[in-house]
């Protein structure tokens, strides 16, 4: 066996496995993406929430809100100058209603990068309601900002005057 040579046909088979075929690689990649779509469970619509299901009074919390310390599945209330809001927070979205509101001023929420809600370039401001804008039965919904890849640790509700 020490003097035996490998036949040329075996060398061709071994050599064909060493080559990189970009067309085959692209075909396998496309087939994988088509047959195994990524999970988009984070983009699903939130489940309906009913204020009637929560008979207990809302938990009054301070403004700004430290969302890392909020107990789950509770109705929260924020008292601000010119507004009172009751809302649910599922970790990403706000759903709630306005108990009291000064119609002459908008109500905004700042998604804060820090728990204390000190100003940061990573903060994001969403509009809850504009001045003189009617809301159907005073209900509102604020969706987590799309395209942001960091988590927020606080919420600050305010009404600029």
Q: How does pLDDT run across 21-30, given as a tens digit for each residue?
A: 778 778 787 7
Does position 96 have pLDDT exceeding 70, yes or no? Answer: yes
pTM of the model as a whole? 0.63
Query: Which whole number is the average pLDDT over 42-54?
Result: 59
Q: Domain ranges for the chain, please list them.
A: 8-41, 47-158
> What's the per-residue H, E or C state across 90-136?
CCCCEEEEEEEECCCCCEEEEEECCCCCCCCCCCEEEEEECCCCCCH
pLDDT in tens, 58-84: 889 988 889 888 887 788 999 988 899
């Amino acid at each position: 066996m020490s003097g035996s040579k490998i036949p040329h046909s075996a060398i061709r088979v071994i050599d064909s496995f060493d080559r990189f075929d970009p067309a085959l690689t692209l075909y396998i990649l496309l087939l994988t993406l088509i047959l195994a779509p990524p999970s988009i469970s984070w983009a699903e619509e939130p489940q309906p929430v009913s204020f009637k299901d929560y008979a207990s009074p809302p938990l009054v919390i301070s403004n700004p809100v430290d969302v890392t310390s909020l107990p789950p599945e509770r109705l929260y209330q924020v008292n601000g100058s010119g507004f009172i809001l009751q809302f649910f927070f599922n970790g990403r979205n706000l759903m709630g209603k306005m108990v009291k509101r000064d119609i002459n001023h908008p109500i905004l929420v700042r998604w804060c990068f820090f728990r204390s809600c000190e100003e940061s370039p990573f903060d994001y401001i969403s509009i809850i309601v504009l001045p003189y804008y009617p809301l159907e039965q005073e209900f509102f919904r604020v969706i987590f900002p799309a395209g942001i890849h960091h988590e927020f640790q606080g919420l600050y509700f305010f009404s600029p005057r």
